[in-house]
Amino acid sequence: MVLLAMISLCSLASMAHVARGADQVLELLAWTALTPLLLILFFRWFTYRVLWKVRNRLILTYLLMGLAPVVMVLTLTSVAAYMLAGQYATDMGLLSLRHALARVRDEAGSSAVYGTQRVETGQPLEGIPAGQTVKGHSAEAAMPSDMGMLEREDATPLALLELRGGAWVERRTGARKLAGPLTSGTPPKWLHPGFEGVVEQDRRLYLCAEVSAPHNGKMVTVLASRALTRAELNVLANGLGRIILSNTYSHLADYSGTKDLEVDNDTDVKVTTPDSLFSRGGKFDAVSSAPLAPSRHPYLDPPIIASPLTLTVTSWRTGENVSGLLAVISRPRLLYGKLFASSGKIGAFVKWMLLGLATFFALLETFALLMAFGLSWTITRSVAELYEGTREIDAGHLEHRIPVRRKDQLAALASSFNRMAESVSELLVQQQEKDRLLHELAIAQEVQATLFPNSPAKVGSLEVHGTCLPARTVGGDYFDFIFGYGREEGQEGTPTGHVTLALGDISGKGISAALLMSALHSADRAFSAAALESGAMVSPAQLLRLLNEHLHRSTQSSRYATLFLATYDPATRRLTYSNGGHLPPLVISADGSVRRLEEGGAVVGLLEGIEYEEATVVLQPGDLLVAYTDGLTEPERDEQEFGDQRLMEFVRARRSEPLTTLAAHMLEVVKEWIGDQEQPDDMTVVLARQN
């Protein structure tokens, strides 16, 4: 079937080349269906051909045992190193951003102290060339960032210097005017003293810091800012990789290599396109440093995309916090160099130490595999000899023996095989004996089944029924119906007199109990027949006494039986009974009341000279007699017995059913209670209903 499927698919593939319109689709479908079939065929060939020999299986096992841990360790190490490297790269990028912010703050503080001077109102200030000093400090060193004064100290304004065209010039401002790029109007109300952080204005990002410092006995407040442009991020990302500031995760992996963002070269502002990295729906446009340079060894030095960190950005207009992202894309070579930048010799030592350990472990793994292959040869040789030995034994050559050459466990296994071959003949003889015993047990089961009376039966207005379910092939439970026969309306052999009901339980199970059960059956029949021939009604108490003496003399002292005997007179509906240590039968009336038949004595066959008592019950129409053995009440489930109370409630609910149906249901409910466990004892029930 597999070959036919392959031929059909190949035909489809060849037809696909003919039809130019749908050739690619058909070819794709053909290979899609053909690939799994080829894999299945290869797996079956590999399993039945290559792995059939134990030697090949052991070799493959050694390879899996030796290489799997190495692969797992390398994989876990690579994943852990990748994650740690990414975290390290992100932390370094955030640290660089914080250092840049600290520099802006320091520049603002320096400007607050040294970068301003008091002039008269209306007095012009000529341009100060870049490089000259203002009050003893270099203008370029004092104010490299965009600066703005936020307030004046008194009625006399402070002069503000800003860098224009390479020269510091005065910019006159009114009260609360800014000269920096963040604003040209009134400062926002949310701005508080000592603020520093990343702010957004007109979708662009700035590093911003406000510093207050005393100057000439006055407090001067200066706001410094620096735009986060590509040039600025290139400085921050020097030796680290690539830094991206954005407000979304989308398509970050697409820019993990040398692919660049689409930016306006004049303004460094990102130009938004449908396929761009960042959506313009955010609060600011993304900005990125230069892409990663191509690596000489892309497989050994792949890009590391770190998990982005959340960056808090403040809106300059509203003061609201905008969620931003700081992502760093680096390479292992860059991170390794940055990590060991201040300890070159230690880094080289660590590198060579790792290479030495890797070489040592590779040699150790090779040595282990060679040793494993050598050991597998000795193992598979013994297995092959065992295989040949089993084939000889299977062919009937019981004299075959395996040569024992060594003194190890495999040699012990060969010796065990030789002893097994010697035992096979004995096992065959024992099996024949077992078959004979099973055959005899089957015959005993058939004989025991003939000892039970025909059921159901009817005597006058009394209907009786009994059934037995042995726990093993033969059982030790006993029940019997002994009828008195005579003539009625010219018919001989019809039950016309009373009937004797018997129910017993022999101690133990199996063949010994079945033999004692047959002896009890014979004795009960013999004593009852003698009483019937004398014309007298059988007395249950007298019959129990005779059976007790007979079993005590003819059986071992440890063997006994519980026995319930009852004689029913159909003319008077009187039931005379005696209980020899058996579970008390129940008489359930039509109104639901229950009477237990407990009068009697001890068990039968255990002690000598026991006298038994008897009692009489008049059965009313609808009364139901229920007699049973302990096999129906003693089964346990979850350490709880089924119990006679549960059995009585079950019979009450179904007392109107036919006797055969009711008896079958009683056995079924007990078997359901037992479940999958083995039946612990024989189960026998005798029912009698007065109509």
Strands 167-171 and 137-138: unpaired
**What SS3 state is found at 203?**
coil
pLDDT in tens, 393-447: 888 787 788 888 777 777 788 888 888 888 887 787 788 888 887 777 777 777 7
On whether the CB atoms of residues 602 and 610 are closer than 8 A, the answer is yes
Cα diameter, the chain: 159
Helix, strand and coil percent figures for the chain, each rounded to 5: 40, 25, 35
- pLDDT in the model for residue 34: 81
On whether the CB atoms of residues 524 and 591 are closer than 8 A, the answer is no
On whether the CB atoms of residues 127 and 163 are closer than 8 A, the answer is no
387 φ, ψ to 5°? Answer: -65, -45
Angle of helix 2-18 relative to helix 23-45, nearest 10 degrees? 160
- pLDDT in the model for residue 520: 79
- pLDDT in the model for residue 50: 66
- pLDDT in the model for residue 104: 85
- pLDDT in the model for residue 584: 94
What's the whole-model pTM score? 0.44
* 225-227-231 Cα angle (round to 5): 135
On whether the CB atoms of residues 145 and 226 are closer than 8 A, the answer is yes
Question: For residue 76, how many other CB atoms are within 10 A of its CB?
Answer: 10
Strands (E), 78-174: 117-118, 128-129, 133-134, 137-138, 146-149, 158-164, 167-171
| Distance of alpha carbon 606 from alpha carbon 545, whole angstroms | 12
| Distance of alpha carbon 223 from alpha carbon 150, whole angstroms | 7
Rg of the chain, C-alpha, whole Å? 53
| Distance of alpha carbon 69 from alpha carbon 131, whole angstroms | 66
Domain 457-690, second-level architecture: 4-Layer Sandwich (3.60)
Alpha-carbon 333 to chain mean position: 41
Tokens representing 223 are: 């706001």
User: In terms of Cα–Cα distance, which of 595, 575, 597 is closest to 584?
Assistant: 597
Q: Tell me which residues of the chain have a pLDDT lower than 70.
A: 1-23, 46-51, 54-55, 114-187, 215-218, 250-282, 341-345, 347-348, 351, 485-497, 530-537
- pLDDT in the model for residue 191: 81
Strands (E), 436-490: 457-459, 462-469, 477-488
Only one residue has tokens 């409630």, namely 649
| Distance of alpha carbon 630 from alpha carbon 14, whole angstroms | 79
Alpha-carbon 624 to chain mean position: 55
* 598-600-603 Cα angle (round to 5): 105
- pLDDT in the model for residue 421: 83
* 294-299-304 Cα angle (round to 5): 70
Tokens representing 622 are: 């609808």
